[in-house]
Amino acid sequence: MEAIETIPKYNLTPEEEKKEILRHYRALLKDLKPKLKPGDKELVRHAFEMAVEAHQTMRRKSGEPYILHPLAVAKICVEEIGLGVRSTICALLHDTVEDTDINLDDIKREFGNEIAKIVDGLTKISTVMDANSSQQAENFKKILLTLTDDPRVILIKLADRLHNMRTMDSMKREKQLKISSETVYVYAPLAHRMGLYAIKTEMEDLSMKYLEPDTYRYIAQKLSDTKRERTRYINDFIRPLREKLEKAGLIFEIHGRPKSIHSIWNKMKNKGVSFEEVYDLFAIRIILHSPQDREKADCWKVYSIITDAYNPSPERLRDWLSNPKSNGYEALHTTVMGPQGKWVEVQIRTRRMNEIAEKGLAAHWKYKEGTDEESRFDKWFHQIREALGSQDSNSIDFLQDFKTSFLTEEIYVYTPKGDIKMLPVGASALDFAFSVHTAVGSKCIGAKVNHKLVPIGHKLRSGDQIEIITSAKQKPSQEWLNHVVTSKAKQKIKDTLKEEKRKVSEEGKKMLQKKLDTIGGLATQHNMEELASFYKVNSVLDLLYGIAIKKIDLKELENFTASGDRLFFPKPKTPEPQQKADADNRGGDKKDSELIIFGESSDRIKYALANCCKPIPGDDVFGFVSTNEGLKIHRTNCPNAARLMANYGHRIVKTKWAKNKEISFLTGLKITGLDDVGVIHKITNLISGEMKFNIAAMTIEAKEGIFHGNLKIYVHDKDELDELCDRLLALPGIEKVDRYDTE
């Protein structure tokens, strides 16, 4: 979203460029044709000409004319999201107010209030969450305000982000990492929540292409290598089904498709299996041409035919016909055992359901007349508005709460009277209580789930019926925050605790003033802030609360003033800088503090390796400036990487390994194999004898003919580790070798 200076890689003459731009414009008009009403074509043409003129001097990183970007975004809006003429105009103009001389008044004058308002929303999002912004979380609420104001803003923004992801090859590596992290952390879940499954999947795959390029290429290659075999398998699976469905007189389409690279990788990681062991690589989709009054009956009829032909896995049935998701998604999913003992996922939908699944919210509007799904959307928006109304200042927490409250899958539960309530997966009885009413949540002491007594932290499941038990004596405690996931419950608990704390802290303020009186000090705001820093607490409120509950000892105030500093104009020498200096000195003693080169100047800077992912030389890494511990080095596929890069882009430091074979790094390997005579000797002989690695620790457990080994060994870099893994796998009887992060 920037006018980028670069050496053009785009080698067209001005005349050829004009033809290229017109070709893209005509393709957009062709897609838009079914939606054009009288006068619309002229409006779109006018927006296109305005955008061409406004962006005429601008180029993208690749060197191509900038106007091709808004044209591509508009095409995604129409073709892949199903938006109409107004959204097309907004997409064409979405960067003009931010990047060119055109202002909102110009757009209002030419196209009216509605379009100006959407472009204004898009401009606000760009300033808070574009490729250059580093304060995304702090401004995330603004984005969501525009979402609830007019959801088209976020749909166009998703199209914009998708096109940026598709065309990111020309960007610098650190930009690619940052944008990909942000995409997988916020935009992909948002696309999923808006019902745009195809866009969500593509965003995840493209993010993975940049965040974990080796794994991405490995799985893509595996999918490519097995394509012919998979196609043959899917055809064999479909053949008997097609005959049965035709015999039943149903009109349908049936397609096979591979799972996305990202979802395959997630299964490999979560289940600890290899590519070959991911059991549902295969997915079949059956799309019925059924009238709306027969949709449910036909879908269940198809389900019956499939489960007659193949054995289903009972726990893998997903019924979103009876309870559609809040984003309108309806379908039946089942997983069945196909030929050769392979699991196959089958999705059953009608054409209407399929359009909603592909186009999400935009298609939903088309079908929404008088349906209850509309109210589910409204409920979702209402919950977001409620969350936005809270005054919690910590935006990072807000973003995390938003993800767990609004961007995850949901469950449906019932009140005692049978009213349905929608909550995120992982919600507790206490979350349910707060969703009923703040007063009910605050007084909750337990619940009855399906008539059985449970504690407040009990995790709910879809279909549960919940009755809340309250007591007038009950009030929220700090521990309650561990039992809730919804934004509303967290916020209400925090508000109550803060109010309680404030009352107690009044007593603390009196105690502090009394103490200050004896040494001639004043309880001014400045002085209390200095004291909060001296006692290492987060805020003045925490200081006064700590004094009131006698957690903070005021005797230490004498040390504070011993150096001659008084609390009228204090400049206390807090211990923190000294501690930091000590930490730096300790870092300097480490041999590995010379290993990494940072930034363009190749300065050597002291750092520490992150414990969460234990990088070794050769791993793809980035530096993160932490508030307390200086520079930490993380692997780009670290479990915390996406969160750090998405929330704190301004603290990310470019990093690369220096060549140094003097220093060894501790890493871990898990080995699984057949418990054969001499297998341990073969492993230790290879590691210590042949490859000369030092083994720091080794544990082997054998059970029923299978052994599991855990090794901690010192290696110089990733190349050595990869070679060791390959050679271990080549040993007879070794089934699996995985790296893990040592404690």
79 burial level (CB within 10 Å; 0-12, 13-18, 19+): middle
Q: Is 563 helix (H, G, I), strand (E, B) or coil?
A: coil
Q: Is 419 a catalytic residue?
A: no
Stretch (H or E) spanning 670 = strand 665-674
Distance, in Å, from the CA atom of 693 to the CA atom of 497, rounded to the nearest integer, reads 54
Residue 281 has phi, psi (to 5 degrees) of -65, -25
Query: How many CA atoms are closer than 13 Å to the CA of 285, on its beta-carbon side?
Result: 13
316 burial level (CB within 10 Å; 0-12, 13-18, 19+): middle
DSSP state of 503: H
One DSSP character per residue, 170-220 reads TS-HHHHHHHHHHIIIIIHHHHHHTT-HHHHHHHHHHHHHHHSHHHHHHHH
| Dihedral sign for Cα atoms in the order 7, 12, 17, 22 | negative
Distance, in Å, from the CA atom of 660 to the CA atom of 645, rounded to the nearest integer, reads 28
Which among 639, 611, 610, 636 is positioned nearest to 622, based on CA atoms? 636
Distance, in Å, from the CA atom of 176 to the CA atom of 307, rounded to the nearest integer, reads 45
- Whether the Cβ atoms of residue 200 and residue 192 lie closer than 8 Å to each other: yes
Catalytic residue selected from 64, 80, 95, 98: 98
Residue 203, sorted as left (phi over 0), alpha (psi -120 to 50) or beta, turns out to be alpha
Distance, in Å, from the CA atom of 259 to the CA atom of 263, rounded to the nearest integer, reads 7
Distance, in Å, from the CA atom of 572 to the CA atom of 526, rounded to the nearest integer, reads 12
Which among 228, 316, 226, 347 is positioned nearest to 276, based on CA atoms? 226
The residues near 128 (Cβ < 8 Å, ≥ 6 apart) are 135, 136, 138, 139, 140, 142, 143
Distance, in Å, from the CA atom of 451 to the CA atom of 297, rounded to the nearest integer, reads 32
Beta pairing partners, 656: 597
Q: What's the length of the chain?
A: 743
Distance, in Å, from the CA atom of 439 to the CA atom of 489, rounded to the nearest integer, reads 11
DSSP state of 346: E
The residues near 515 (Cβ < 8 Å, ≥ 6 apart) are 554, 557
Q: Is 98 a catalytic residue?
A: yes
* Strand 630-635, strand 608-609: pairing: parallel
Catalytic residue selected from 2, 17, 99, 565: 99
- Whether the Cβ atoms of residue 283 and residue 230 lie closer than 8 Å to each other: no
Q: Count the helix, strand and coil residues of the chain and give each as a percent rounded to the nearest 5.
A: 55, 15, 30
Spacing of C-alpha 444 from chain mean position: 32
What residues act catalytically?
Answer: 98-99
